Structure 1
Amino acid sequence: MAEEGKSTVRAVERALDILICFTAGKDLVMTEIAERTGLHKSTVHRMLATLEDKGFIERDRVTDRYRLGMRVWELSAHLSRTDDPAVIWQPEMERLRDKLGETVSIYVRDGSERIRIQAVQSNQPVRRVAPIGARLPLYAGASSKVLIAYADPLVREEIFGDPSWLFTIDLDQYKMQLADITEQGYATSFEEREPGAAAFSAPIFGREGKLVAALSVSGPASRMTMDKMRDAAPILLEASKRMSTMMK
C-alpha cells in the first residue's frame, strides 16, 4: 500500500516537472521535454497525453509542439499575481472601459468553448454583467470569431467538426466572414448569442505572433450599434496592440 502511494506521488511530481518546463514561455517538442525532465520519452508521452486530456497542455498538430493549455488560464483567473496576463492587462482594460463606457472582457479558447478569464464591468446602470470563469460556445459572438479566425487552419477544421458546433451555420459564408475579420483586424456581433446584446472584439498576440486571447467590448445593442462599433474600432485595436506588446 505504501509503495502504491509512493508511485502515485511520483506520477504527480513528473506531471509537475513537465509543466514547469514551460516557464521559459516557449513551445516545446517531446524530446526537449524529455531532456529537461530527465524522463524517458515513453513516460513523457503518457504524461503529456493525460495533461492534454485534462486541458493543462495543448499540442499543435501541425508542428507537433506543446504549450500550456487553457486550464492553466482558467485557474489563473482566480489568482492575484503580478505576472498573470489577466492581471497585467487589467489597467488597459479599465482605460478601454472608461473610453467606451462598456464592459470589457478577455476570452481564451478551450476546445469548442471560450472562457472569460478577466472582465471589467461598465459603470453604466444598464450594462452586461460578465462573470469571470464563464464558459460560452464558440459558434456565436465576436470574441468567438476572433478566436477561430486567428487559429491554425487545422484547429479551425477541428472546431467545425466538433459535435457541439451549430450545424445550421453556413460554413462557406462563415469562412468568408473569418477572412474579412483577419483583414480588418476585428470582429462584431449583434444579437447573435443573446437578444439585445452586441459586442466587438480584437485579437491579442504573444510571442512569435501567436494568438493568445480575444479582447472584447460588449453592451446593450441599443447603445452599441454597428455604426458605433465601427467608429470605435480604432480605439479597440490600439488597446489590443498595447496588450499584445505586454506579452512579448
Structure 2
Amino acid sequence: MEDGKLTVRAVERALDIMLCFTDSSNLSLTEIAVRVSLHKSTVHRLLASLEGKGFVVRDFATDKYRLGFRIWELSANMTHSDDPAIILLPEMERLRDQLDETISLYVCDGLERVRIQAVESNQAIRRVAAIGARLPLYVGASSKILVAFAEPQVQEALMKAKNMPVGLERSVFLKQLADVLSQGYATSVEERELGAAAVAVPIFNQAHTLVASLAVSGPSNRLTLEKMKEHAPVLLEAARRMGKMVR
C-alpha cells in the first residue's frame, strides 16, 4: 500500500513539473524546483524520467528545460469535435473584429476559472490574455457569470471557502450574483487588475447547460460602463449563436 502511495505522489510531482510550463517556455532546474517546492535532487530525477519519455527536452547550451515533442504527439490525437476552445474560435475572431477588443472564453474548474481560449484586440493598447491562466471565482465579470449561472452546489462551495478576498462581504457578492442573473450579463472595472475592465455573458448549449463565459476586456478608460452596456446585446447574440454550436 505504501508503494502505491509513493507511486501516486511521484506522478503528481511529475505533473506539477509539467504544469510549470503553462506560463513559461524555458525553465532551469532551480526555477522548477522553486515553483514545485521540491529539492533540486528530486526534481532532477523526475526531469530525467520525463526527458527519457520525450515530455521535456534539456537545452545544454542554456541548461534549461522546455516541453518535448511527445506533448504535441498527444495533442494531435485529442478529440476536437466537442472542444469549445476550437469550435468557437472563428466566432470569437469575428466578435473581436466587430468590437475591436480582446475576447476570452472561460470555464469553471473547481473554485477557479480557466481561460481556455482568447483572441486579442488589434489595438496598440489592449488587454493581453494568456490562455491557460487560472483566476479566482470571486472577482471579475466572467467569475460572476460562472458562479451566478452555475449549479447551486458551486455557489455553496464558494461561500464556504476560506479564501474570499479581504473586504469582499458575502452579502455583497450574493447581491452581485443576483444582479447578474437579472440583467443577463456581468461587468467589472478594475476588480482584479488596475486599468482593466470587462463585460461577460454566459454560453448555454442546446440543453441549456452552462458551457462557458464569453468576455470582452480592455483598458478601463476605453471600455467604460456605458461602452460595456452597448456591447452587452452584441455579446448576448454572439453567445446565443455559439450555444448552438456546442453540446
TM-score range, shorter chain: 0.5 to 0.7
Percent identical pairs in the alignment equals 57
TM-score, normalisation: structure 2: 0.66
Q: Please report how far the alpha carbon of residue 173 of structure 1 lies from its aligned counterpart in structure 2 after TM superposition.
A: 2.2
In structure 2, the residue matched to 1:172 is 171
Quote the offset at 1:205 in angstroms: 1.1
The match for 1:111 is: 110
**2:209 matched to 1:210?**
yes
In the alignment, is the contact (CA less than 8 A) between 1:128 and 1:220 conserved in 2?
A: yes
Structure 1's 80 and 124: CA in aligned 2 closer, same or farther, altered over 3 A?
A: farther
For the 8 Å contact 1:111–1:159, the answer to whether it is kept is: no
Q: Tell me the CA shift for residue 171 of structure 1.
A: 1.5
Q: Which residue of 2 aligns with 1:181?
A: 180
Query: What TM-score results when the alignment is normalised by the length of structure 1?
Result: 0.66
Displacement, 1:81?
3.2
Equivalent position of 1:127 in the other structure: 126
Whole-angstrom CA distance in 1 between matches of 2:187 and 2:242: 20
Alignment CA distance shift 1:90-1:172 (3 Å):
same
2:63 paired residue number: none
Describe the shift of the 1:135–1:79 C-alpha distance in structure 2 as closer, same or farther (beyond 3 A).
Answer: farther
Contact kept in structure 1, 2:82 and 2:246, CA below 8 Å: no
- Counterpart residue identity of residue 94, structure 2: R
Contact 1:112 1:165 in 2 (8 A): no
| Conserved 8 A contact 1:196-1:222 | yes
The within-5 A match list for 1:137-156 is 137-156=136-155
Alignment partner, residue 236 of structure 1: 235
- Evaluate the alpha carbon distance shift between residue 152 and residue 102 of structure 1 in structure 2; reply closer, same or farther with a 3 A threshold: same
1:183-207 alpha-carbon deviations (Å, 9 max, x no partner): 2110000000001000000001124
Consecutive unaligned residues of structure 1, counting only runs of 5 or more, are: 9-74
**Aligned residue number for residue 14 of structure 2:** none
Is the Cα–Cα contact under 8 Å of residues 80 and 87 in structure 1 kept in the other structure? no
1:48-59 equivalent positions in 2, closer than 5 A = none
Which deviations, in whole Å up to 9, do the C-alpha atoms of 1:171-229 show, x marking residues without a partner? 22221221111121100000000010000000011242111110011000011000000
Cα offsets for 1:111-153 (capped at 9, x unmatched): 1111000000100011111011011111110000000000112
Instruction: Determine which structure has more spread, i.e. the larger CA radius of gyration.
Output: 2
Determine if contact 1:112/1:164 at 8 Å carries over to the other structure.
Answer: no
Which range is displaced more, 168-177 or 232-241? 168-177
- Corresponding residue number in structure 2 for 1:225: 224
Question: Where does 1:84-103 land on structure 2 (aligned, <5 Å)?
Answer: 84-103=83-102
CA drift of 1:167 comes to 5.0
Instruction: Give the superposition deviation at 1:158.
Output: 0.4
User: SS of the residue aligned with 2:91?
Assistant: helix
Task: Provide the C-alpha distance between the structure 2 equivalents of 1:175 and 1:163, rounded to a whole number of angstroms.
Answer: 16
SS in 2 for 1:146: helix
Q: Partner residue of 1:14?
A: none
Structure 2 regions of 5+ residues with no counterpart? 8-73
1:78-129 CA distance string (max 9 Å, x none): 9683542211101110111011110000001111111000000100011111
Give the SS at the match of 2:207.
Answer: helix
In the alignment of these two chains, the number of paired residues is: 176
Cα distance change, pair 100–79 in 1 and its aligned pair in 2 (3 A): farther
